[in-house]
């Protein structure tokens, strides 16, 4: 096979800061460690938008939020937007999705020729924010402190149920691909929900960690909090219901446990590649949609451009990938062109149906250099009333929003982002240049009007579609049970050898 297979194993809400692969002294991630030990670890990778659906849509499309209307977790992902799955289909790949992708709208495939499981979250407009009334909590689906009050261990949860199904389906499909005489390369995404809250872990993962060893975030004084942090704390009820130190420790312990659980699926899937002889012709990529503040700045979950919310792990291993650490700033916008380079194997890309915002990381992954050291981000979801923009270039990160004072951090000397340089006289020129660039890149007022129009339309549509009253967009996997295992129209003596791997001589 000249072109490699591609396997993306994706977590949900996993910040690289809380993995052994990125240096956390406590969290055990042996499978991700093993990928990094034989591959490329990207140390400054970001999601484009720190919330589930927009992060995923922008990664698949290689286009920013404002280009495709990926405003929030209830924004429709238009079927007319080309995705990396479409391009890989054109390049001759089989495209397979197992697990979460949070597609909203009637198109639940977006270029994936096979989808093995349903999604875990709704595909309709139910979770539409309301910028016309931004100070009112939407209690039905806003994150809140229940995730901390209920943190701990359990034998089963809906998230455990889901990830067991996702992992089983992905493993089984990898075996099917090995048994299949079809020699086309495959592109598979196995996308898990852990370690996303609720912070609840099975005992075998919970028991990996000693309660007294769990590290706690450094406190941040209330008067040092920026307006968006205060909005998030109010939205998730951290400043009203609140949480105790014990609850914070429980949440972090369960998060670490579920990170190890997710890592076990990375290990299982790579083990199957080994077993089926596919390790040396498969590029494996481990990443997440976004991170989790996990108590930093008094916040949990995501929604902001601070490091633990917006940074993602990005580890790549496989044929052609060098054993290297990449310090260049990059983002999920770069995944699409990177995969096109992998799939092209030196040939031309398929014709693009839309301009893309990112650049290929393949040169960096294979041990080369790149002068580009920057990326951008956009956030237009809940707990704000105006678009928020981020520019990360070199060591500096700038965050701008019409409703808030600007934020500027040197993330190399100040990785916890405690010192806002935007008002520092010594950084006035730098802050001014970033502000001017933000105004030039984005028409904030026009984008806000687009967001408001979309929200108002979707609220009307959702109100006109009472539960159970219309056809659901939620994906229901097709299953041809009449042709599974052994059936009456099959030769029993042929069914066994056909499904066996390795094949009998």
User: Which residues participate in catalysis according to the annotation?
Assistant: 52, 102
Tokens read off for 437: 């660039």
Biggest distance spanned by C-alpha atoms of the chain:
81
Query: Smallest Cα–Cα separation from 388: which of 221, 301, 397?
Result: 397
Q: What's the rounded Cα separation, in Å, for the pair 250 and 254?
A: 6
Whats the size of the chain, residue-wise?
505
Beta bridge partners of 163: none
By DSSP bridging, strand 94-99 and strand 374-379 are unpaired
Burial category of 95 from C-beta neighbours within 10 Å (exposed 0-12, middle 13-18, buried 19 and up): buried
- SS3 of 242-290: the string is CCCHHHHHHHHHHHHHHHHHHHHHHHHHHHHHHHCCCHHHEEEEEEECC
Please state, in angstroms and rounded to a whole number, the distance separating the CA atoms of residues 72 and 52: 8
The residues pairing with 45 across neighbouring beta strands, listed in sequence order, are 330
Q: Is 311 helix (H, G, I), strand (E, B) or coil?
A: strand
Q: Which helix (H) or strand (E) holds 344?
A: helix 335-344
Question: How many alpha carbons lie under 13 Å from residue 130 in its C-beta half-sphere?
Answer: 15
Tokens representing residue 413 in the block:
């000397």
CA 60/CA 71 separation, integer angstroms: 15
Rounded to whole angstroms, the Cα distance separating 61 from 277 reads 31
DSSP, collapsed to helix, strand or coil, labels residue 114 as: strand
- Of 234, 223, 204, the C-alpha closest to 136 is 234
Q: Which residue has the tokens 């099917």?
A: 176
Separation between Cα atoms, residue 154 and residue 195, nearest integer Å: 14
State the DSSP code for 379.
E
Measured between alpha carbons, how far is 313 from 315 in angstroms, rounded to an integer? 6
Task: Name the DSSP class of 24.
Answer: -
Q: What is the DSSP letter of 175?
A: H
Quick one: which of 310, 305, 311 has its CA closest to 404? 305
Do 151 and 247 touch, CB atoms closer than 8 A? yes
């Amino acid at each position: 096979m000249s072109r490699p297979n591609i396997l993306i194993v994706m977590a949900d809400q996993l910040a690289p800061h809380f993995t052994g692969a990125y240096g956390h002294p406590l969290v055990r991630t042996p499978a991700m460690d093993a990928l990094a030990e034989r591959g490329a670890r990207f140390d400054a990778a970001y999601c484009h938008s720190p919330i589930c659906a927009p992060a995923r849509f922008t990664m698949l499309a290689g286009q920013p939020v404002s280009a495709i209307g990926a405003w929030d977790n209830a924004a429709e992902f238009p079927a007319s937007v080309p995705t990396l799955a479409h391009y890989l289909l054109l390049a001759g790949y089989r495209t397979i999705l197992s697990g979460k992708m949070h597609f909203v709208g009637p198109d639940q495939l977006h270029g994936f020729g096979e989808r093995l499981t349903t999604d875990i979250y709704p595909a309709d407009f139910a979770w539409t924010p309301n910028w016309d009334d931004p100070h009112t909590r939407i209690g039905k689906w806003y994150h809140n402190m229940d995730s901390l009050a209920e943190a701990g261990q359990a034998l089963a949860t809906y998230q455990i149920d889901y990830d067991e199904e996702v992992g089983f389906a992905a493993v089984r499909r990898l075996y099917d691909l090995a048994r299949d005489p079809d020699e086309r390369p495959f592109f598979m995404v196995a996308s898990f929900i852990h370690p996303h809250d609720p912070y609840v872990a099975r005992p075998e993962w919970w028991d990996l960690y000693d309660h007294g060893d769990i590290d706690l975030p450094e406190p941040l004084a209330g008067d040092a909090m920026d307006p968006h942090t205060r909005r998030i704390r109010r939205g998730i009820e951290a400043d009203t219901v609140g949480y105790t130190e014990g609850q914070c420790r429980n949440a972090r312990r369960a998060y670490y446990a579920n990170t190890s659980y997710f890592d076990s699926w990375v290990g299982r899937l790579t083990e199957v590649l080994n077993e089926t002889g596919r390790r040396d012709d498969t590029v494996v990529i481990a990443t997440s949609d976004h991170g989790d503040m996990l108590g930093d700045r008094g916040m949990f979950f995501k929604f902001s451009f601070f490091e633990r919310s917006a940074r993602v792990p990005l580890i790549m291993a496989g044929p052609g990938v060098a054993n290297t650490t990449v310090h260049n700033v990059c983002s999920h916008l770069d995944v699409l062109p990177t995969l096109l380079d992998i799939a092209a194997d030196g040939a031309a890309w398929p014709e693009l149906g839309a301009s893309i915002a990112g650049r290929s990381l393949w040169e960096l992954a294979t041990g080369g250099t790149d002068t580009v050291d920057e990326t951008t981000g956009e956030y237009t979801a809940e707990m704000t009333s105006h678009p928020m923009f981020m520019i990360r270039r070199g060591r500096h990160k700038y965050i701008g929003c019409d409703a808030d004072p600007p934020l500027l951090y040197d993330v190399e000397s100040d990785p916890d982002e405690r010192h806002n340089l935007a008002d520092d006289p010594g950084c006035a020129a730098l802050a001014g240049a970033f502000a001017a660039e933000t105004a030039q890149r984005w028409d904030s007022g026009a984008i806000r009007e687009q967001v408001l129009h979309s929200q108002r339309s979707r609220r009307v549509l959702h109100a006109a579609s009472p539960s159970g009253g219309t056809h659901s967009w939620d994906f229901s996997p097709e299953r041809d049970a009449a042709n599974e295992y052994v059936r009456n129209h099959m030769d029993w003596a042929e069914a066994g050898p056909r499904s066996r791997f390795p094949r009998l001589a």
